[in-house]
Every structure is written in C-alpha cells, then in structure tokens.
C-alpha cells in the first residue's frame, strides 16, 4: 500500500495565523463622516490611496474620481457629485444640478491628459 504525503494544516495548534491587511478603520470613519459620503465611498477612496479630507482637497473632486475609477471601474458619476459636495458642503444633488457641466468638462480634460497621444 502506498502512503500519501499529508500536508500540514495551516491552523495547527500553536501556529500563528498569517497577517491580514486590515483597512484603516479611523480613516474610513473620517471619510465616511464627510458630507455626501458613506462607507462604500470611503472604501473606494481608501482603495485609491486617498485617506483624509486633506488628500481629497489636494487632489480635487475630479482627480480623486479618476483615481477611484482606476481601482473601481463601475463607479457612477454620483460619486463625482458626492466628492464635490464633500469639499464644497453642497448636497450631491445640488452639485449635480448646478455644477454638472463644469465637472464633466473637467473630467473630460483630466481623462484626456491621462491618455497617451497617438501619432500616425
């Protein structure tokens, strides 16, 4: 009879569990407490490397939105309105109504800056 090699269980008594990266709960709470932002928006921002209101303000709402879109492709424009509202203090729906055109133009400009220019 052939004996099979047994693999050691990763959860043996006394074995240390591997370290798991835990998101910064304080940063998540601080971001989620900004106007118009909640836990999911905070998670998107953290995933994009934006940890504080100061980080968000330094980038601006449009650049922050572009960064988030790099890590979470399916975010909607509502996040852009919410980010602008978090910085300006306006409700996201007021931002969408009053600043939609200027934000969309800025977004288009920002995205064009990122794309390499194709030459024939």
Q: What's the CATH number where 56 sits?
A: 1.10.150.20
Q: How far from 119 is each of 7, 110, 116, CA to CA, in Å? A: 56, 20, 9
Residue from 76, 99, 95, 77 nearest 85 by CA? 95
pLDDT at 120: 54
pLDDT at 114: 76
Q: Which domain holds residue 96?
A: 26-114
d(CA 71, CA 109): 20
Residue 57 has pLDDT above 50, yes or no: yes
| Domains of the chain: total | 1
Q: Is residue 38 included in any domain, yes or no?
A: yes
Q: What is the average pLDDT across 104-115?
A: 89
Q: Is residue 7 included in any domain, yes or no?
A: no
Q: Is residue 1 included in any domain, yes or no?
A: no
- Residues 6 or more apart in contact with residue 67 via CB below 8 angstroms: 48, 49, 50, 59
Q: Is residue 48 included in any domain, yes or no?
A: yes
Query: What's the predicted TM-score (pTM) here?
Result: 0.74
């Amino acid at each position: 009879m052939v004996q099979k090699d047994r693999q050691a269980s990763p959860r043996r008594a006394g074995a240390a569990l591997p370290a798991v990266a835990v998101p910064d709960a304080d940063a998540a709470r601080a971001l989620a407490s900004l106007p118009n932002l909640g836990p999911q928006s905070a998670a998107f921002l953290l995933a994009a490397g934006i940890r504080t209101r100061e980080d968000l303000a330094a980038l601006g709402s449009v650049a922050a939105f572009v960064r988030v879109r790099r890590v979470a492709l399916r975010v909607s424009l509502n996040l852009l309105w919410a980010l602008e509202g978090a910085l300006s203090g306006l409700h996201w729906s007021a931002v969408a109504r009053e600043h939609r055109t200027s934000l969309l133009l800025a977004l288009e400009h920002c995205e064009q800056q990122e794309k390499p220019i194709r030459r024939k």
